[in-house]
Structure 1
Amino acid sequence: MTDVKFSKEETDRLVNKLKAYFDKEFDQEIGAFDAEFLLDFIAKELEPVFYNRGLADAHSLFSDKVDELGYLIQELEKPAL
C-alpha cells in the first residue's frame, strides 16, 4: 500500500479542519505546521484501518448485489418438463 498523498487544496482544507477542531473542542489554537504534522500522522498510522473498513464495506455491498442478482436470474427460469 502506498502512502496517502493529498493535493495542496486537500491538505489546506484538512489542516483548517484540524485547527478548527482543536480550537472548538480543546479551546487551544494550533498552528498550520502542527496541524499538518498531525494530519501526516493520522494518514500514516490510521489510514490502513479506514482503508480496510472501506474495502470490507465494498465487499459486503458487492456480495449483497451478487446475491440479489442470483435471485433475479432464478426468477427468469422457465418451468422444466
Structure 2
Amino acid sequence: MPIELPEDARAAAIASIQRYFDTNMDEPIGNVAAGGLLGFFLEEIAPAVYNRAIADAQERMQARIVELDIDLHEEPFQYWRKFESPRRRK
C-alpha cells in the first residue's frame, strides 16, 4: 500500500524540504527536485515509520484490552450477598 499525502500536506512538505536546503545546504533545491525527494522518502522510508507506528498502536491497544478485564470485571452470583448479615457470610 503506497503512502500518499493529501495535496496540502504534500505542498507543505515540499516547502519544508526547500527551506531545509536553503538553511542547511550549500545550494537550494527547486520545487520539482524537492517533490522528487519527497516521493523517494515516501516510497523508501515512510513504510518503516508507518509499520513502527502500527506496531506501537497495536501494543498500546493490547495493553488496554488486558486492562479491560481488570477495569470491567464483575463478580457473578452477588444477588444474595446483599441479604446476608456480615457474620453469616462465608
Q: Same fold (TM over 0.5)?
A: yes
Aligned mates of 1:38, 1:50 — CA distance in 2: 17
How far the C-alpha of 1:12 sits from its partner, in A, is 1.0
> Larger % of helix: which?
1
5+ residue gaps, structure 2: 79-89
Other-structure match for 1:15:
14
Moved more, 24-33 or 14-23: 24-33
Aligned residue for 1:30, secondary structure, equals coil
| Pairs within 5 Å for 1:1-81 | 1=1, 3-74=2-73, 76-77=74-75
In the aligned structure 2, how far is the partner of 1:23 from the partner of 1:77? 65
CA distance, structure 1, for counterparts of residue 20 and residue 66 of structure 2: 42
Q: How many corresponding residue pairs?
A: 79
| Aligned Cα root-mean-square deviation (Å) | 2.0
Deviations 1:23-68 (A, max 9, x none): 2222431100110000000000012101101111110110111111
Runs of 4+ in structure 1 deviating by more than 4 angstroms, as ranges, are 78-81
Deviation, structure 1 residue 78: 5.1
Instruction: Indicate the percent of aligned positions where both proteins have the same amino acid.
Output: 28
Structure 1 alignment gaps of length 5 or more: none
CA distance in 2 between counterparts of 1:66 and 1:41 reads 37
